[in-house]
Structure 1
Amino acid sequence: MRKKTRQIFVGDVGIGANSPISIQSMTTFKTSDIENVVKQINDLEKAGCDISRSAINDMDDAKAISKIKEMTNLPFVADIQFDYKLALAAVENGCDCLRYNPGNIGSSDKVKKIVEACKDKNIPIRIGVNSGSISKEIIDKFHGVNADSLVASAMEEIKILEDMDFYDIKISVKSSDVNTMIDAYRKLSALCDYPLHLGVTEAGPLYQALVKSSIGIGSLLKDGVGDTIRVSITGDPIEEVKAAKAILKALNLRSDGLDIVSCPTCSRTSVDLEKIVEEVEKKTEDLKINAKVAIMGCPVNGPGESKEADYGISAANGMGFLFKDGKTIKKVKEEEIVDTLVDVLKESNLNEN
């Protein structure tokens, strides 16, 4: 059962409590490059992202926020590191959330100015602790960078905001080490009821990132820990969103779009199943239908898997049997499988919408 945390809102997206687990990603262009950032955010939205984050490195970046928001729909998170003036400018220009650590800002007066600005505009703050942001004092106290030092650092940052009567907070304690990340989030979840942003930081290139994030994020979500997620991948942020959706779908925590089941192929496979699956996936990526689709090339397991899915194809020896709700509705040639299945799915999509 998912832990019920305190609810906050990033723009119109609820995080925590009973809100659906949201997907986040981050733009890769300089934020003042408005045209490319807008395109990237809109592409992220199309892919299924719920919240977008951008680095604010200078005043031009901060001033670009208002223009970007005019041309996009996703809530905008401003990522600030050390300069409190940039945080204030981001708030003034309409960001929907600040990602910054109070301890990095400097004097309490500077932190208080940010807190008061966020209170005035109902803007939440994400405290983002990772392996590289822990103070030397805490590292020494807990004998290195580990789950305990990550949690202690987060609790220290939380206290700064709570002492200023600010509670509109979400927290992350990311590590590039999966075991450390899992242990840190479990410990933090036991200590507070703030919503948690899950992620394995610097998870690496695609395949490595997929494995690390699936284990780390998936394990915590299965435990009921976590309210919003980002899959960190070196490369196109669209892949981050696809991976996040796949993790949530695998745990039945998200149901928008198709859930494709397909066999890994073996010597029993007598059709070009890899090509069929790739074409179906490409031709249905924009469909909003919530359905399980089995595409099987095995005469042993294929019929059973296809019957259990909402829609299914069991293919063998140059032919394919199309199933819907467990019943065979059509027999087609191998070269007709993709278009036949896609047409049926599109028709169902029209009926649902």
Structure 2
Amino acid sequence: MSLLKERRKTRQINVGSQPVGSDAPVSVQSMTNTQTQDVQATVNQILSLEKAGCEIVRAAVPDMEAAKALKKIKAQIHIPLIADIHFDWRLAIASAESGVDGLRINPGNIGTADKIKAVVDCAKAHKLPIRIGVNGGSLEKEIEKQYGVTARGMVESALANIRILEDLGFYDIKVSLKASDVARTVEAYRQLSPLTDVPLHVGVTEAGGLYAGITKSAIGIGMLLSEGIGDTIRVSLTRDPVEEIRTGFEILRALGLRQRGPELISCPTCGRCKINLFKIAEQVEKALLERSARIKVAIMGCVVNGPGEAKEADIGIAGGDGNGILFKKGKVIRKIDQAYLVDELIKEIDAMTLKAEEVNGKES
């Protein structure tokens, strides 16, 4: 029995080739942390994100050099690219002309009505969606004065900005409401979701380093998705953004919303463990990032209980003293020298993947 509530119905927009909202799967996004002006570094990072499964990527546009660099970046990547704009309306227009697939702005801080209209007219001409990015730390002064830095203030800011765009006849909108604390973020999304049908981009901003960031994001994003709120997500970490994609898909997997690639399970180890299981699990986890097979992989610390405890896994390894075993569905297949455990496991996974692809190809 699913504990998830029915997903909120929204209008659907398209970010390049990626549908967002309505019945489209919840998509996983990230943001580059390179200098956008450094085209090659930015392209290399986006290509790494693509391999990890990133479906939409955002890049900061602090100046005109960065806006113009987006054209060269876009030509070398394969997923939709969003330009992140603050304050300067001219950067939004230059980014659109560089061929991006969407804009992230806050209409309230773009400037006067004619500047907002210029950006909207440009987005219409290029068929680009706009994400209204409301951040708890940068609310409009009049809204902050009336409501304070609260969930209600964030909601009022979002509604005001939605009205600005819709009054200009623009409806390809999605909205994010982010704060650095989970409670305020969750409450803001809960308040906004029944008031509009725009798709919602969900995340907890400035979440922190690896452990704090994953914890905050898993709780905040997970709570909202379980309530049917959220059409696209980003996990914000002060780390390599590839870690954001890994975490995002694991959140979706844990909720049963999406499956991407192998699922890794591993034991926490005990005194019976005779191998460096932490290192092995890390090696396998890294190798599985680029594998597509939807299988369950087990990494267990000892041969005594390993296969039995992980018999629901499609394939796994268990360590011993100098050697280990490879098992499938709880049945031991063969012994392997400890030095080759990971290599042999990956070979078997690749063989299983190839076989599955051949079967699917014949069936289609």
Query: Considering the TM-score relative to the shorter chain, is it more than 0.5?
Result: yes
State the 4+ residue runs in structure 1 displaced beyond 6 angstroms: none
Q: Which moved more, 1:230-239 or 1:316-325?
A: 316-325
1:95-174 pair list within 5 angstroms: 95-142=100-147, 144-174=148-178
In the TM superposition, residue 185 of structure 1 has moved relative to its aligned partner by 1.1
Q: How many residues align?
A: 352
In the alignment, what sits opposite 1:92?
Answer: 97
In the alignment, what sits opposite 1:220?
Answer: 224
In the TM superposition, residue 333 of structure 1 has moved relative to its aligned partner by 4.7
How far apart are the structure 2 equivalents of 1:286 and 1:301? 29
- Aligned equivalent of 2:39, options 31, 34, 37: 34
In the alignment, what sits opposite 2:55?
Answer: 50
Instruction: Determine what percentage of the aligned residue pairs are the same residue.
Output: 53
One-letter amino acid of the structure 2 residue matched with residue 337 of structure 1: L
One-letter amino acid of the structure 2 residue matched with residue 287 of structure 1: R
How far apart are the structure 2 equivalents of 1:109 and 1:287? 49
Q: Is the 8 A contact 2:108 2:140 kept in 1?
A: no
In the TM superposition, residue 300 of structure 1 has moved relative to its aligned partner by 7.4
In the TM superposition, residue 112 of structure 1 has moved relative to its aligned partner by 1.3
How far apart are the structure 2 equivalents of 1:183 and 1:38? 36
String of CA shifts for 1:64-115, please: whole Å, max 9, x gaps.
2222111111211011111111111111221110100111122212111211
In structure 2, relative to structure 1, the CA distance for the partners of 1:275 and 1:59 (3 Å cut) is closer
In the alignment, what sits opposite 2:259?
Answer: 255
In the alignment, what sits opposite 1:343?
Answer: 347
| Secondary structure at 1:261 match in 2 | strand
Q: Is the 8 A contact 1:306 1:323 kept in 2?
A: no
| Secondary structure at 1:119 match in 2 | helix
In the TM superposition, residue 157 of structure 1 has moved relative to its aligned partner by 0.6
The Cα RMSD (Å) is 1.9
How far apart are the structure 1 equivalents of 2:35 and 2:154? 29
Q: Does structure 1 residue 4 correspond to structure 2 residue 9?
A: yes
String of CA shifts for 1:258-282, please: whole Å, max 9, x gaps.
2100011122434332232223223
One-letter amino acid of the structure 2 residue matched with residue 86 of structure 1: L
Q: Is the 8 A contact 2:85 2:105 kept in 1?
A: yes
How far apart are the structure 1 equivalents of 2:291 and 2:217? 26
In the TM superposition, residue 299 of structure 1 has moved relative to its aligned partner by 6.4
String of CA shifts for 1:11-38, please: whole Å, max 9, x gaps.
1011111212111111222322212211
Q: Does structure 1 residue 194 correspond to structure 2 residue 198?
A: yes
In the TM superposition, residue 340 of structure 1 has moved relative to its aligned partner by 2.8
In the TM superposition, residue 160 of structure 1 has moved relative to its aligned partner by 0.6
- Aligned equivalent of 2:279, options 262, 275, 279: 275
In the alignment, what sits opposite 1:23?
Answer: 28
How far apart are the structure 2 equivalents of 1:118 and 1:48? 27
Q: Which moved more, 1:250-259 or 1:8-17?
A: 250-259
String of CA shifts for 1:178-221, please: whole Å, max 9, x gaps.
11111111111121111111111111112111111111111111
How far apart are the structure 2 equivalents of 1:107 and 1:258? 50
| Secondary structure at 1:49 match in 2 | coil
- Aligned equivalent of 2:301, options 276, 297, 316: 297
How far apart are the structure 2 equivalents of 1:203 and 1:301? 38
How far apart are the structure 2 equivalents of 1:62 and 1:279? 38
| Secondary structure at 1:286 match in 2 | coil
| Secondary structure at 2:311 match in 1 | helix
In the TM superposition, residue 316 of structure 1 has moved relative to its aligned partner by 4.8
TM-score, normalization by structure 1 = 0.93
Q: Which moved more, 1:80-89 or 1:235-244?
A: 235-244
Q: Which moved more, 1:32-41 or 1:307-316?
A: 307-316
In the alignment, what sits opposite 1:241?
Answer: 245
| Secondary structure at 2:47 match in 1 | helix
In the alignment, what sits opposite 1:182?
Answer: 186
In structure 2, relative to structure 1, the CA distance for the partners of 1:292 and 1:185 (3 Å cut) is same
Q: Is the 8 A contact 2:303 2:324 kept in 1?
A: no
- What are structure 2's unaligned runs of at least 5 residues? 1-5, 358-364
- What are structure 1's unaligned runs of at least 5 residues? none
In structure 2, relative to structure 1, the CA distance for the partners of 1:31 and 1:335 (3 Å cut) is closer
Q: Which moved more, 1:45-54 or 1:240-249?
A: 240-249
Q: Does structure 1 residue 209 correspond to structure 2 residue 227?
A: no
String of CA shifts for 1:235-284, please: whole Å, max 9, x gaps.
32222222222222222333222210001112243433223222322344
